[in-house]
Structure formats: C-alpha cells, structure tokens
Structure 1
Amino acid sequence: MTKAEKNGQIIAIARADSIVLSDEQSALDFIMTLSSETGSNRIALNKDGISEEFFKLSTKLAGGILQKFINYNIKFAIFGDFSSYTIKPLKDFIYECNKGNHIFFVSSEQDAIDKLSIAI
C-alpha cells in the first residue's frame, strides 16, 4: 500500500498480487484498514486484487461490494485491463460507474489517481 497526493487529496493505492476483495466482509475489512492507515476516503486497487466472481454480474457480488464503498463514502477506483470482459451488461455497468462520482474502472494507476483526486 502506498499513498499519492494530488489536488490536495490523499489517495491510498493498494497493489495486490492475490485476491483481497472476495465478498462484502472482505470489502469492509479492506475499507476500514486502508482508510484508518492512510486517513483517506479515496482508494485505488489493481484488478488482480478482486475475485473474478465480482465481474459476473449474476452473482451480485459487484453490487454488494461497491455498495460498501458508497455507504462509507469511499471513492474507489479499480485499475487494470478490462478489455477481456466483452459481455454487454458488464460493459454497461462499467460505463455507468465511470459516469458517476464514486466508483471508477480505469486502465492505469495514474488514471485512478487522476479520477480520485477530483474534489466532489
């Protein structure tokens, strides 16, 4: 875990080489740990830290996990390559998240920092 600062915003950046978000409880633990260690309400995580089940919308895992971030007022960016996901509902879900102000799917860590550094 590292921190970045841009536009006066502190962003916690987690680079996981194993799954750290696999269910709602792990999301809550992740939020509490990173926000308490960094004092930030803006978190970025690489895609490799998220269970593949998250990207199967029928499991409703994405909705449950992302709702935790919204409930705790945490802006959250997932960075990585999403091009392998070609199912229209998932592509639409990612598109809609990116239009909002709290959840972002971006291609790089720098893009995550840029999105999360916008004060809203």
Structure 2
Amino acid sequence: MIVLVFFASRTCGHSRRMDSLVDHFMRAHRGELKLAKVDIDERGDLAARFGVEGAPALVLLSDMVEVARLEGRQTLPSIRAAMEPHFVTEELGMPELVLTGEPQLQAIG
C-alpha cells in the first residue's frame, strides 16, 4: 500500500496553501495511493516519529517504508516530480490494434 502523509499546521500559511495542491494531486492519482493528513499541532508524536520538524511536509510511504520526502512550501510540479516516480507505472509499450476493412487486426507502431 502506498500512502502520502501530509504534515501540516492550521497556523501555517504555507500548509493552508499546499492543502489544495495536495488535494489536486490526490484527485489526479485516485485509486493509486491513500492520503493521511496530520496536524502537527495535535499529533506532534506522529511528526516526531517521522522526523518532521516543521510544516508543511510530505512523506511518501510504500508498505510503511519512506520512499520520498518533501519539506517546506512546494508547487504541484515539484510534488509530482518527487512523488510520481515511486508509484506511477510506465505504459506497457504494446502496439495499438485497430480494426481495418479487412477481416484481420493490424498492428500500428
């Protein structure tokens, strides 16, 4: 299981701005990973467990092992660049098949 943990604080402006970016990122990857939002003011124990000293921070876990981390204010492209290589699979590279006027399939590409 792949989980993106978003460590944020209600009192941090960067956290509030990144919240919508994280939501957008998750909508684009619906079904590929889970999201856990952690308020570090309420759950400082979790932040400490993951070594997070400030907000905002993103930690990507694969089978509960950290595979990527971003700290501080981020942009959507920086989130994608850091996180997607760890869970987005490449296309299989199989040729596309199309039906032609003949009674057989023809491979393109």
- The two structures have a TM-score, normalised by structure 1, of 0.27
| Structure with greater proportional strand content | 2
- The two structures have a TM-score, normalised by structure 2, of 0.29
| Structure with greater proportional helix content | 1
